[in-house]
Amino acid sequence: MPSKASCDSRYLSRLTVTGLVVASMIGTGVYTSLGYQADALSSTSSLLLLWVVGGIHALCGAFCYAELSAALPRSGGEYHLLSKVYHPFLGFLAGWVSVTVSFAAPIALAAIAFETYAAPLLPSVPTGSLACLIICFMTIVHCRGVQTGARAQDWLTGVKLLLLSALIIAGILVPAEEEENLSTLINLDFSELLGGGFAVSLVYVSYSFTGWNAAVYVAGETHNPSRTLPIALVSGVALVTILYLSLNYVLLLVTPLEEIRALENKEEVAAVWAEHVFGNLGSNWLRTIISAGLFSTVGALLLTGSRIATSIGEDYKVFGFLAKRNQRGAPISALFLLGVVAITLVVTSSFDTVLVYIEFITLIFTFLTAAGVFVLRRKAIGGKRPFCMPLFPITPCIYLGITAWIIWHVLTERPMEALAGLGTLAIGCIVYVLYRNKK
C-alpha cells in the first residue's frame, strides 16, 4: 500500500500544472525587459515583434517537450529527458546546472525584482533583505507539503493573471499619449531584425518565457501525465504569449521610448508606465500588486527546481541527501539547497549579468532536449506515443533555429557571460568524471 507521502506527491491536477506553467513564465521578465530592449532597438514594431517571435519560439519548444514528456513521464525535466534520450552524462550536466544555478538564479532575479518594486514603499528596509525574505517565506510554504504548496500556487497564479489582465485593460482604456511610438509600428526596419541587437534582445524575451517547460519537472507528481502535460504546456504558453504581447503594446502606447531609454533603473519600466496612467498614487499601488505577483514566480520556481534536485538524489548516491522528503511529500533538502543558493546570488550578483548568463546556459540544454524529439522517433524510445506534435519536423526546426541564433549572438555580443556559462558546464563535467571514477 502506498504511503501517505507517495499519495500526496501525486496530487498535482491539470489546473495546478497549467497554472505552474503560467506562473513560472509570468514574473520578472515581462516587467523588466522593455527597459533593456529599448536601448538596442529603435522602433515600436521591432520591440513588439520580439514578443511575437518569442511566443512562437516557446510554443514550438512546448510541442517538443510535450511529445518527449508524454512518452517519458517522470519528474526531473531536462535531467530525466536527456538521460533517457542521449546519455546519463548529458542528463547529469543538465541536473548539475539546474541544482546549482538555472533555478536558483531566476529565483534570485524574481526576488530582486520584487525588492525593486517594493523597496520605494519601504525605504527604511536594508538592501537585499526583502529579496531574501520572500525566498525564505516561499521555501517554508513548499516545505509544508505538496498539497499546501499546490493550493498556495493556485491562488498566487490567479492573482498574477488578474493583475496582468487589469494592467492590459487599463492601458487600452487610457488614450494613447505617444503618437511617435504608434507611428513607428508601420516603419519596420528589416535590417534591424537581422542584427545582433535583435538577437540579444530576444535573450530577455526568452528569459520572460522561461518556465514554459515547467510541467515536465513535475511529471512524476501529475495525474495522467501523458494527457495532462501536453495540454498544460501548449495552453499555458499560448495564454502567456497573448498576455505578453498585449502588455508590451499598452506599455508602449503610453510611455515615451526616450523616457524608457533614460531610465537609470531599467527594471522599473512598469512603474514609469503606471505614473503616466494613474499618477504617483497609482504607481505605488502597481508596485504593491507586482510585488505580490512575484511571490507566485518565486514559489513556482522553487516547486519545479526542487524536483530536479530530488531526481538527481534518487539516481546518484553521492547526492542522495537531495532525495529526502518529509512526511507530507515535500523534498525539503532540495528546497533548502535552492533557497540557500538563491539567497547567495541575491547578495552577490547584478541583475542584467545574471540574466544573460543563466539564459545562455538554459538555451543550450533546451536546444539539446528539443533536438531529442528526432532521436526519440528514430529509436522509438518509450514505446507508444501518447502525443505527437503537429507539423513535424517543421515545429522542432523552428525552435532549434531560433535558439541557435540567440546562442551564437550571445557568444559574440556578450562573451563574458557566455564564458561564465561554459565554465559552469566545465565544472559539471569534472564533477561527473570524479563521481564516475570513484564509483
> Is the distance from CB of 41 to CB of 198 less than 8 angstroms?
yes
Give the cell for residue 47.
Answer: 520591440
3-class SS of residue 12: strand
Mean pLDDT: which of 69-78, 117-126, 191-200, 421-430 is highest? Answer: 421-430
Q: HEC string of 207-238?
A: HHHCCCCHHHHHHHHECCHHHHHHHHHHHHHH
Indicate the pTM of the whole model. 0.76
Does residue 193 have a pLDDT over 70?
yes
C-alpha cell at 17: 500544472
**Could you give phi then psi for residue 298, rounded to 5 degrees?**
-60, -45
pLDDT tier, 264 (very low <50, low <70, confident <90, very high otherwise): confident
C-beta of residue 39 within 8 angstroms of C-beta of residue 244: no
pLDDT tens for each residue of 65-115: 888 888 887 766 788 889 888 988 998 898 888 777 877 888 888 888 888
Residue of 389, 396, 63 lying closest to 233 (CA atoms): 63
The amino acid sitting at 66 is A
* pLDDT score for 31: 75
Most confident stretch, 171-180, 197-206, 251-260: 197-206
- Distance between CA atoms of residues 373 and 64, nearest Å: 6
- Provide, rounded to the nearest whole percent, the portion of the chain with pLDDT above 90: 9
CA distance 147 to 308: 19
Question: What kind and span of H or E run contains 14?
Answer: helix 14-25
State how far the Cα of 199 lies from the Cα of 57, in Å rounded to an integer: 13
Q: Which pLDDT tens digit goes with each residue over 288-298?
A: 777 777 777 78
**Neighbour-count burial of 111, counting CB atoms closer than 10 A to its CB (0-12 exposed, 13-18 middle, 19+ buried):** buried
Q: With 90 as the cut, is the pLDDT of residue 370 above it?
A: yes
Residue 158 has pLDDT above 80, yes or no: no
Q: Which of 140, 138, 53 is nearest to 401 (CA)?
A: 53
Closest C-alpha to 355, from 203, 197, 240: 203
Nearest alpha carbon to residue 409 among 363, 344, 351: 363
Nearest to 60 by CA among 406, 390, 410, 374: 390
Q: What are phi and psi of 222, to 5 degrees?
A: -115, 135
pLDDT class of 399 with cuts at 50, 70, 90 = very high
Check pLDDT > 60 for residue 282: yes
Confidence at residue 1, expressed as pLDDT on a 0 to 100 scale: 38
Residue whose C-alpha cell is 522561461? 210
Instruction: Indicate the average pLDDT of the chain.
Output: 79
Greater confidence (326 vs 374) lies with: 374
Q: What is the CATH number of domain 14-350?
A: 1.20.1740.10
Please state, in angstroms and rounded to a whole number, the distance separating the CA atoms of residues 268 and 124.
Answer: 19
What would the mean pLDDT of 49-66 be, rounded to a whole number? 88
Is it the case that residue 119 has pLDDT exceeding 80? Answer: no
- pLDDT given at position 5: 42
Rounded to whole angstroms, the Cα distance separating 322 from 435 reads 16
The neighbouring-strand residues paired with 12 are 222
Cα separation of 116 and 98, whole Å? 25
Distance in angstroms (rounded) separating the CA atoms of residues 243 and 183 = 23
CA distance 380 to 197: 40
Q: Which residue ranges make up each domain of the chain? A: 14-350
**Confidence band of 229 (pLDDT split at 50, 70, 90):** confident
Which residue did the predictor score with more confidence, 375 or 439? 375
Q: Can you say whether residue 26 is alpha, beta or left, with left for phi > 0 and alpha for psi between -120 and 50 degrees?
A: beta
* Residue in the block written with cell 565544472: 427
pLDDT-based confidence at 425, cuts 50/70/90?
very high
CA-CA distances (angstroms) from residue 234 to 21, 27, 173, 304, 315? 9, 19, 30, 18, 30
The DSSP 8-state label assigned to residue 120 in this structure reads: G
Beta bridge partners of 222: 12
Asked if the model's pLDDT at residue 179 lies above 70, the reply is no
